[in-house]
Structure 1
Amino acid sequence: MAKYDPLRDYLRKQKTDELELSFVEMERKIGYMLPKSAGLPQWWANTTDPATTHVQRKAWGDAGFDAFLIAGADRVRFKRVRSPGSNA
């Protein structure tokens, strides 16, 4: 199991197209502290590249979401952009 799979699985189960999670909520789900770099917008940058080496991006992308850091709030807004597992 990859480090961010619990986040991916949680997002896949969501019925809403948008949700916000705090860093603490995400850390509880994955069982690890997020790295300090998670406070930077580029850590949350979205990609459609299936070969990405950024495991966190792969997690929410595989769940069908894009992620957007809410500056200064230690929170992230996830917005559904496609069906889970879809490459479109």
Structure 2
Amino acid sequence: MRHLLDTNHDGPRFCPYHGRCCWPRDALATRPARYALRGGYGGIGKYDALGTFLRRWRRRNDAEGVELRFAHIEDIIGGLLPRGAAEPEWWCANGRADAHAPHRRAWLDAGFEAIAEPKAETVYFRKRPTP
């Protein structure tokens, strides 16, 4: 079987040899910044889709907020929430350091604060007042 890394292309592709995505040898040193390992494609994080959803919801609705079930959030982000999401502290931003966590940045940047009810597996995203 010929190894996919021996072919020329501009980004990672599924490699049947390894059973995962691989980079071509000649692109490893020169891969574009948008393929950074820590940020994935275009620097998009796991929770960016949730931020996009909330921004769109905010533009289209006049309500004070939206309640989402954990399962709906998982559908939006395309993956499972971590075990920590079962704790209310995971959702609230208490202080400046907490606000920089990637999952919190998604709703804070979209103009929301999160109020979680982990036992009910729901989160209420309430609009923050605009200054």
TM-score range, shorter chain: 0.7 to 0.9
The reply to whether residue 54 of structure 1 matches residue 101 of structure 2 is yes
- Within the candidate set 86, 110, 115, 1:68 is matched to 115
Specify the alignment match of 2:49 in structure 1: 6
Q: What TM-score, normalized to structure 2?
A: 0.58
Q: Output the TM-score relative to the length of structure 1.
A: 0.84
Q: Percent identity over the alignment?
A: 35
Contact 2:85 2:118 in 1 (8 A): no
Q: Check whether the contact 2:114–2:123 (CA below 8 A) recurs between aligned residues.
A: yes
- Higher radius of gyration, 1 or 2: 2
Alignment of 1:12-51 (within 5 A): 12-14=55-57, 15=61, 16-46=63-93, 49=96
1:13 alignment partner AA: R
Give the secondary structure class of the aligned counterpart of 2:80.
Answer: coil
Q: Which runs of 4+ in 1 moved over 3 A?
A: 47-53
2: distance between equivalents of 1:81 and 1:48? 16
Gaps of 5+ in 1: none
| Alignment: residue pair count | 84
Unpaired runs of 5+ residues, structure 2, are 1-43
Displacement, 1:82? 3.3
User: Which structure carries more helix by proportion?
Assistant: 2
